[in-house]
Each structure stands twice: as C-alpha cells, then as structure tokens.
Amino acid sequence: MNMGAIKMKMKRFLWVAVVGLLVGVIGGGLVKAQPPIGDVKAVAKGEAKIGENLGGFDEGGANIWTYSGTAGEVLTLQAIAENPANNTDEATRHKERLLDTVLVVYDPTNQVIAYNDDIVDAVLTNSFLRSVTLTTDGTYRIKVTNWYVESGNETGGHFELVLGSHKIPPKDVKPATKILGKLETATDVMDNVDTIIKDFDTHTVMLINPSYCTISGATFGDLKFDLKPYSGILVQVPVGSYHLKSKGDDCDLDLTTDEIDVPEATVVMVVPIDRDGTRPDNAIPFPTDKEALANS
C-alpha cells in the first residue's frame, strides 16, 4: 500500500467502534457499512461451523460461508491471517504475502449487518466482530476478503475464520464504570480481545492511543483519564452509547467522537496514527510485541 493509500486509510477512521472485536470503531467492533471494494473473485466455502474455519484466496479474492442462524442468536467472529499485514507498506505486503483482512456479515436479505476491517486501524489488521445479533431465522453469509483502495493494492493469503455462537444474549447487567488495567503492548490488546470472546464480555472497551501525542483530560462516560503515547487502557462501562472527548498536549488535538456503542465497540482509537513524517525519530510504535503482531 503506498503512502497516499495509507493516509486515506488513516482518515477513514479516527476511532474504532471494532472490535470490533475492536473493534471500528476502527478495528474491533461492529460497523454498519457497505462492503469494501475488494468484493471480487468470491469463492464459496460451504456452511460455517462453530470454531475454526480455514480459508484463503489470491490477491483481490474473498471467501464466503453460509450460516443457518436463528432469531436472537448472538455471534462473535474473528478473521485471523496466517501472515497479517499490520504496520507494513505495500511492497512488503506483496513480497511477503501479508493479508489485511476484512470481515462482513450479510443477513438473509443480503443486507450488510456487520463489518470490520482492523482491530486497531493499520496496526493490528486482523478483523473482529464481538456482538452480532441475528434478528430473524434464515441463511446468513459471512465473507472474509482483503482491504484495498484501488486495483493493484490487493493482497491475499491464508487465514482462520473463528466463529462463536450464543443462543441466549448475555444479560444487560449494570457494572460499575471503572478502569480495569493498562495496555502497553500488542500482547495486552490481543489477550484482552481473546478474553472478551471467551467470556462474551459485553461491557469492556479498549481505548488506545497509537501516536506520539500525550492525551490529557480525556472523558468516556463517567471516566476521566490520561494516556501516554503508544499506550491504552481497558475500561468497563454499562451497555449504552458514549462519546469520547480528549485533548493532546504534544499535538493539535481536540477530539469529540461520534457515538460509540457498547457492546458493539471493542477498541476505540483516541487519535489517528501519524504517518506524515512528524512522528519523532526515537518514538516507539504501538504495539511493540512482535510475537503478538505475528498472531494479530
């Protein structure tokens, strides 16, 4: 992906809501949107099973599974690339066959009901949807494809589609709003995404600052906090809609987000990643854990 394309991708999302999984909310959460333009060469994979479903496609391709869903059923979905693209340029992606996944769910009428690109935009490029509620009985379609902005930027590769199902939606308890812990590496992010999936946690959101800016005086619901560069926090809030407000000490930042829906959101990016050359040379990019990147 060239620098212009990367900057376009950065501008697409300033935050994720994307959970899904990160959620998109960039990356990790549930985003109702049209599918990406990489919707070509779709290869049918049959009926999706609960658990792991193996897939793969060439550049510009896609895999599509069907799923027999029932009204009230709640799905969690991950697309985990064998070789994720993460924070790499176009030449590296093609040379090493790195995949930037996109995950889309269609209802029985072929309408998009859930979409996620990255868990953390252009940093953790696997896809995650944490809470997809099926509203009617019927055959749904689950598609995994690649992200690109124009012909020639396509990627391909192998991946796993991991599908979870809960026939009864989780109870809407009202936990106390609180900060649960700090996030400073990719391992922290991915471990907590896995925990959210395993426990079907509908109240936890990750707030990530993947830039050199120091965030001060941020608010999210009843919470107030600061975020140092390349770090994040794990927060717990009741199910509902929220706004994130914050300012940057070391850069020009005055952010008020659109609504962020919990449990739909998994990851919320406080600021966009800076790729225009102003990041200090000695800044450590977020995340820093190479092993987690390899499985992100």
For 255-296, the pLDDT digits (tens) are 776 788 888 888 888 776 655 556 666 666 666 777 777 667
Please report the pLDDT score of residue 40 as a whole number: 58
d(CA 232, CA 223): 14
d(CA 282, CA 46): 49
- pLDDT reading at 66 higher than 90: yes
More confident residue, 4 or 171: 171
Mean per-residue pLDDT over the chain, rounded: 79
Please report the pLDDT score of residue 17 as a whole number: 30
Q: Can you tell me the mean pLDDT for 110-123?
A: 88
Please report the pLDDT score of residue 70 as a whole number: 95
Please report the pLDDT score of residue 210 as a whole number: 79
More confident residue, 229 or 170: 229
Based on its alpha-carbon atoms, the radius of gyration of the chain, rounded to whole angstroms, reads 18
d(CA 25, CA 266): 8
Number of domains in the chain: 1
Which CATH number belongs to the domain containing residue 236 in this structure? 2.60.120.380
Please, which pLDDT band fits residue 143 given cuts at 50, 70 and 90? very high
> Which residue range is the domain that position 88 belongs to?
3-294
Contact present, 161 and 55 (Cβ < 8 Å): yes
d(CA 80, CA 2): 23
Per-residue 3-state assignment (H helix, E strand, C coil) for the chain: CCHHHHHHHHHHCCCECCCCCECCECCECCCCCCCCCCCCCEEEEEECCCEEEEEEECCCCEEEEEEEECCCCEEEEEEEECCECCCCCHHHHHHCCCECEEEEEECCCCCEEEEECCCECCCECCEEEEEEECCCCEEEEEEEEECCCCCCCCCCEEEEEEEEEECCCCCCCCCCCEEEEEECCHHHHHHHHHHHHHHCCCCEEEEEECCCCCEEEEEECCEEEEECCCEEEEEECCCEEECEEEEECCCCCEEECCCEEECCCCEEECCCCCCCCCCCCCCCCCCCCHHHHHCC
Least confident of 121-125, 189-193, 230-234: 121-125
Q: What does the pLDDT look like over 3-51, one tens digit per residue?
A: 344 333 433 333 333 233 233 343 344 444 445 545 556 788 999 999 9
- pLDDT reading at 95 higher than 70: yes
Q: Please state, for a pLDDT cut of 90, what percent of the chain lies above it.
A: 34
Q: Can you tell me the mean pLDDT for 93-111?
A: 91
Please report the pLDDT score of residue 245 as a whole number: 87
Please, which pLDDT band fits residue 172 given cuts at 50, 70 and 90? low
Please report the pLDDT score of residue 155 as a whole number: 80
Please, which pLDDT band fits residue 166 given cuts at 50, 70 and 90? confident
